[in-house]
């Protein structure tokens, strides 16, 4: 890791100081999300974001071969009992999370959980990168479902309770006014897919709060959203998800994926 973090520092210098990769997007997103902050504060967060983002890639490379004992020391899971409680009762669990901290480290979750874990993902355009990401994500038993196949899978797997991970904070292709909320002071559309699947299948819904304890070490906390999405009013699950996501971002503003053009629509 010392060698990889050395490469990370070089990457940070190139990306931040030389090329300025999407720096204008990051500054604009942060300034609009935290209008109460002065420019100097925004600048500090921008710099820390790029440093952390470079570290995430180093940690992902290391996770290709790091033994489980090492990963177990780097990731602390809090309140996994909540997931096991729902799953042991024969209920699916929809897990919502955001692009906070090094979310790819959640590939270790199946090693700690007593039940199957699926991650919903969108295949990458590059076949080489897609194969690498699949290798990283599946190493400890994670099962992958493409965004186009998850609906059919969940609707035909009632007898096999499992946890389904959704990164639900990306900009949706379709704008639905029922799923328009205020996130970080900005009107924000969210995908309705996570909530609708949870409601149809009567799943429990949990938010995974990711916080950085130190360089390369993270704490993942399971926070309840609802015990049965089918009993919730439409939009209530997503509203609670947005509140928890915003709390996660505000706790560590440098940790979110600010290079994403989240509000382009």
Separation CA 2–CA 130 (nearest Å):
26
Q: What is the pLDDT of residue 120?
A: 92
DSSP 8-22: HHHHHIIIIIII-TT
Q: Are 220 and 76 in contact, with CB atoms under 8 Å apart? A: yes
Q: Are 111 and 68 in contact, with CB atoms under 8 Å apart? A: yes
User: Count of CB atoms within 10 A of residue 90's CB?
Assistant: 10
Instruction: Please report, in tens digits, the pLDDT of each residue of the chain (265 residues total).
Output: 889 999 999 999 999 999 999 999 999 999 999 999 999 999 999 999 999 999 999 998 888 888 999 999 999 999 999 999 999 999 999 999 999 999 989 999 999 998 999 999 888 778 887 888 888 888 899 999 988 888 888 888 666 899 999 999 988 888 889 999 999 999 999 999 999 999 999 999 999 999 999 999 999 999 999 999 999 999 999 999 999 999 999 999 999 999 999 998 7
Give pTM, 2 decimals: 0.93
Tokens of 47: 């710099």
Q: What is the pLDDT of residue 158?
A: 64
Parallel, antiparallel or unpaired: strands 204-214 and 217-226: antiparallel
At residue 163, the 3 state secondary structure works out as: strand
Listed as own residue / partner, the contacts of 157-160 with beta carbons closer than 8 Å and 24 or more positions apart are 157/92, 158/201, 160/116
Parallel, antiparallel or unpaired: strands 186-189 and 117-121: unpaired
């Amino acid at each position: 890791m010392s060698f990889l973090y050395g490469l990370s520092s070089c990457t940070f210098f190139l990306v931040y100081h030389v090329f300025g990769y999407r720096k204008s997007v990051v500054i604009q997103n942060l300034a609009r999300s935290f209008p109460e902050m002065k420019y100097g504060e925004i600048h500090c967060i921008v710099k820390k974001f790029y440093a952390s983002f470079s570290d995430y890639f180093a940690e992902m490379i290391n996770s290709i071969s790091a033994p489980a004992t090492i990963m177990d020391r780097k990731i602390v899971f809090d309140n996994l009992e909540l997931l096991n409680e729902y799953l042991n009762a024969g209920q699916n669990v929809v897990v919502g999370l955001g692009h906070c901290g090094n979310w790819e480290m959640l590939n270790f979750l199946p090693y700690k959980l007593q039940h199957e874990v699926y991650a919903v993902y969108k295949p990458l355009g590059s076949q080489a990168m897609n194969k690498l990401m699949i290798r990283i994500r599946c190493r400890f038993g994670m099962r992958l479902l493409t965004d186009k196949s998850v609906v059919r899978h969940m609707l035909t797997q009632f007898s096999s309770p499992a946890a389904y991970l959704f990164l639900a904070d990306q900009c949706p292709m379709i704008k639905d006014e029922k799923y328009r909320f205020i996130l970080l002071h900005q009107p924000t559309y969210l995908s309705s897919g996570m909530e609708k699947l949870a409601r149809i299948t009567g799943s429990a819904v949990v938010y995974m709060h990711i916080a950085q304890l130190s360089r390369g070490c993270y704490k993942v906390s399971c926070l309840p959203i609802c015990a049965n999405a089918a009993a919730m009013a439409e939009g209530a699950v997503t509203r609670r998800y947005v509140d928890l996501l915003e709390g996660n971002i505000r706790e560590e503003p440098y940790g979110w994926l600010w290079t994403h053009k989240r509000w382009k629509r």
